[in-house]
Structure 1
Amino acid sequence: MRYSAQVKPISYLKANAADILLNLAERREPLVITQNGEAKAVLQDVASFEQTQETLALLKLLAIGNQDVDAGKTKPARAVVERLRGKAADSR
């Protein structure tokens, strides 16, 4: 994705807000908004934003898992399964 094609000044946003929102939803590409020639904000549709947030949450879980592995905070799967089976049998 080339962000250079999706750069607009804030004046364009002010004058074309409704059209911009339609395009964001249809194209699902972010729009970089500039002010005084500098990039100041990025607009994106809600569905893309939610997808990004879910992806970041999964990546955070993976990073935490990797930290646990590095710190030796793991147990063999067999031991965990046996413990869970034991709890299931106790609750009957």
Structure 2
Amino acid sequence: MRTVLIRQGIPSRLLTGHNSVRILTFWSQGAIMSLAEHIRPITYLKSSAAEIVKEFAVNPEPIIITQNGEAKMVVMDIGEYEKQQETLALLKLLALGKKEFNAGKFSDAEAFLDEMDD
């Protein structure tokens, strides 16, 4: 079995027809999880929705839903989704700060604090 480490997005060609590939990615809390174990066809979602909701209470890892062999959606625990959204908001703020810094739109800490005192 071959292991593929993915940090962002999952190429659809890895999701179909590769039973001998273990797909790993970073989970929101830094642990590594195997996504291959969490890929399910849409019929599983249709027939097991209540069970999926109960399972999230003990295992909040997202489930990838496929349709006709292609990844179409991700089902995830609302708490994990909210954490992910908070993380994305912070990353956007960091990216904006880096962009402004690179454009020279910054001041040193002393100047900022002096401005705040006025």
- In the superposition, the TM-score normalised over structure 2's length comes to 0.70
Q: Is 1:13 the counterpart of 2:45 in the alignment? A: yes
Post-superposition offset of 1:7: 0.9
The one-letter amino acid of 1:24's match is: F
Identify which of 95, 98, 108 aligns with 1:66: 98
Determine which structure has more spread, i.e. the larger CA radius of gyration.
Answer: 1
For 1:78, the equivalent position in structure 2 comes to 110
Identity %: 47
What do residues 33-91 of structure 1 show as CA deviations (whole Å, max 9, x unaligned)? 111111111100100000000000000000000001100000111111112112xxxxx
Q: Is 1:33 the counterpart of 2:70 in the alignment? A: no
Equivalent position SS for 1:26: coil
More helix by share: 1
* Larger relative contact order (CA 8 Å, sep ≥ 6): 1
Matched positions, count: 86
In the TM superposition, structure 1's runs of 4+ consecutive aligned residues that sit over 4 Å from their partners are none
Instruction: Give the superposed CA RMSD.
Output: 0.9
